[in-house]
Amino acid sequence: MPVTETGGREALDEQDLRRLADAVDFTRSASTERALATALDEPGGVSAHLEFAHTAVLVAARRVDDVVAALVELGVDPVGPAPTRSARVGGRDVDVRLVRGAVPGCARGLEVSVPVAGVGSSGSDRSGWAHPVFRAPADDVVSRGVYAVLVDAGLAPDGGGHDPREDSTWLRLRGRGRVELRLPGHHADLLRRHVGRPDEARRAMFELVTGAWRTRSVAAAAELGVADLIAGGSRTTAELAERTGTRPDKLRRVLAFLGALGVLRRDGDAWELTEAGALLRADADGSLRDLARIYGGLFYRSFSALEHTLRTGGSAFEHSHGALLFEHLAAHPADARLFEGAMAAGTSFLNLVPGLLDLPATGAVVDVGGGDGRLLGLVLAAAPGLRGVLFDRPHVTGAAREVLTRLGCADRAEVVAGDFFRDPVPAGGDVYLLSRILHDWDDERASAILRNVRSAMPAGALLAVVERPILDDRSVLPLSFDVHMMVNTPRGGERTADRHRELLARNGFTLEDIRGLPLDMAVLVARATAV
């Protein structure tokens, strides 16, 4: 609707005039609790610590005088000058003039923002720009508590700042609607918590692009055995340098970096392990030392050829090392041992798998591609009435008998050599396991595995697939491992839950449930459907 030159109501478009009129009615009639309920389903007791002070509105008028005239016609008494400040509108910062007015019949008012350069007339830039503003307590402890309650209730930060002219801090939050808190004074710590540092985006990007420095520093500490040397207590830089054959002045700088990363704890020039740093000990339960070494060594070098994979579709690992991963490991025994240790380091979650399975009291469990037998042994240990079969290639199962003996179930387990692509899977089991197998292969090869397994299973038998499914677009670990598999295997990758469901359905299974494990791993529980 065009803006006329007559002033008052006629100078504002219909949407802005309606927004002002509604804001006047809301400001006059709403209680603090009702105003808070525009953003929260259940305001609860937090409303007792807030005071509904005024309603903030944004309009797209050409002149501040037109807004003043419209407010007068709506019965609002404009007060004070119209200062200028910056506001976030439609994803950009704009300068606005403020028009304040007292609403008759209550102790509250309006604060109308008028963009100096205007905003889009469609109203899309102004969506949500009419919201209640609450006066928060001056007491810093109470204000922090109120803020924490609102965030815990689901409200998300939506801008904030400090107004030096009025010496007040404003914090905007969004839930079902938008609300704003005004606190007297400059609450720098709370504001930083709310909006982050002014350089937050640059700092975040710096941390991303320097991630290689972290990886290599942790890997170097793992290679040198620093955590093992500190295990008995603190060590000075000089002691660590002497034991590792490094220069003290250079080592100290890396140790300080690891201290800032939370790997070490510093006391003068002596160093202790943190809980995270203790995981680099070779003898730690669930040690990640070999994982740090391989991610900072063999796989670190293959990631340098990521662009090769992106441009050609070829294997980055093969491009970097001259052979595919398992061919390389077959030719380099030291790397093969490191790989085995790294894979074992990432299996601590397997202890929880038996408790997530619907195991029968008796019958047979078949671990397809079961490797060293650890998962099968854990399942058998949890279910004394079951017997087990481990099925994998002969050179992989060499350690299985020892692991099963250590777990006390070798007398109930059989090791069967075979290839799950070419050889029949042992038939007649009640439960079948596929742990971290499918992510090594594309859909065609994964389907071949699943069909082979399904041909061995009676209808209704349980299939437990242990993988790291991508559950949403914020699943950083699964998404990072998806890239890792792309770089280091010719056909591997992680799958979304829907892709797992479709893959299973195409090959004779119904996915019934996804049961979470640490580090975003999961057990996908499926049943063999009737043929």
Active site residues: 439
Reading across the β-sheet that carries 509-516, which strands appear in turn?
A: 413-417, 386-392, 363-368, 431-435, 462-467, 522-528, 509-516
CB of 32 closer than 8 Å to CB of 47 = yes
Alpha carbons 326 and 120: distance in angstroms, whole number: 59
Q: Which residues of 414-432 are buried (b: 16+ CB within 10 A; e: fewer)?
A: ebbebebeeeebbeebbbb
Residue 517 one-letter amino acid: L
Alpha carbons 71 and 77: distance in angstroms, whole number: 7
> 21, exposed or middle or buried, with CB in 10 Å at 0-12, 13-18, 19+?
middle
Residue 326 one-letter amino acid: F
DSSP states of 225-240: THHHHHTTS-EEHHHH
DSSP strands (E only) in 41-185: 51-58, 77-79, 84-89, 92-102, 109-115, 130-135, 156-163, 168-174, 178-184
Max Cα separation, the chain?
A: 96
Consecutive H or E run containing 513 = strand 509-516
Compute CA distances 266 → 227, 239, 289, 444, whole Å.
14, 14, 21, 52
Beta pairing, strands 363-368 & 431-435: parallel
The residue behind tokens 């709370």 is 190
Backbone Cα Rg of the chain: 32
CB of 231 closer than 8 Å to CB of 282 = no
Comparing CA positions, the residue from 241, 240, 300, 304 lying closest to residue 273 is: 240
CB of 507 closer than 8 Å to CB of 490 = no
